Amino acid sequence: MPLNPNQILRQRYQIHSLLGQGGFGAVYRALDLNLNRWCAVKENLGSSSTAQRQFEREAQLLTRVRHPNLPQIWDYFDESGGRQYLVMEFAQGVNLSQLVRQRGVLTEAQAVAFALRVLDALEYLHAQTPPIIHRDVKPENILLTPQGRVMLVDLGIAKQLTGSNSTPSGARGGSPGYAPLEQLSSAGTDLRADLYALGATLYFALTGHPPPDAVDRAMGKELPSPRQMNPAISAQLERAILYALQVTPADRPQSAAELRRALTGAAPPRARAVPFLERVGQIGLTVGIGAQLIIGLATLILVLLAVLIAVGFVVYAMSVLTRATGAP
Ligand SMILES: Nc1ncnc2c1ncn2[C@@H]1O[C@H](COP(=O)(O)OP(=O)(O)OP(=O)(O)O)[C@@H](O)[C@H]1O
Ligand SMILES: [Mg+2]
- Sketch the domain layout of the chain as residue ranges: 1-90, 92-271, 275-314
- How many Cβ atoms sit within 10 Å of the Cβ of residue 68? 12
Candidates 120, 136, 154, 194; catalytic one: 136
1-90 and 92-271 share one fold? no
pTM of the model: 0.80
The hierarchical CATH code for the domain 92-271 is 1.10.510.10
Ligand 1 centroid to Cα of residue 141, in Å, is: 6
Q: Tell me if 91 CB under 6 Å of ligand 1.
A: yes
Please compute the mean of the pLDDT values over residues 281-304 and round it to a whole number.
Answer: 55
pLDDT the model gives residue 294? 59
Question: Which residue's alpha carbon is nearest to atom 20 within ligand 1?
Answer: 22
pLDDT the model gives residue 270? 52
> 1-90 is classed in which CATH architecture?
2-Layer Sandwich (3.30)
pLDDT digits (tens, 9 = 90+) for 236-262: 999 999 999 999 999 999 999 999 999
pLDDT tier for residue 296 given thresholds of 50, 70 and 90:
low
Distance CA 137, CA 197 (A): 5
Ligand number nearest CA of 42 is 1
pLDDT tier for residue 279 given thresholds of 50, 70 and 90:
very low
Distance CA 209, CA 203 (A): 7
pLDDT the model gives residue 154? 92
pLDDT digits (tens, 9 = 90+) for 107-135: 999 999 999 999 999 999 999 999 999 99
Please compute the mean of the pLDDT values over residues 256-281 and round it to a whole number.
Answer: 63
Q: Tell me if 19 CB under 6 Å of ligand 1.
A: yes
Ligand 2 centroid to Cα of residue 143, in Å, is: 11
pLDDT digits (tens, 9 = 90+) for 179-201: 999 999 978 899 999 999 999 99
Mutate to test the pocket of ligand 1, among 27, 50, 159, 204 (most ligand atoms within 8 A of CB): 27
To the query of whether residue 213 is one of the catalytic residues in this protein, the response is no
Ligand 1 centroid to Cα of residue 76, in Å, is: 16
Question: Which residue's alpha carbon is nearest to atom 5 within ligand 1?
Answer: 91
Mutate to test the pocket of ligand 1, among 42, 62, 67 (most ligand atoms within 8 A of CB): 42
**Pick the residue with more confidence: 70 or 318?**
70
pLDDT the model gives residue 170? 46
Percent above pLDDT 70 for the chain: 85
Ligand number nearest CA of 156 is 1
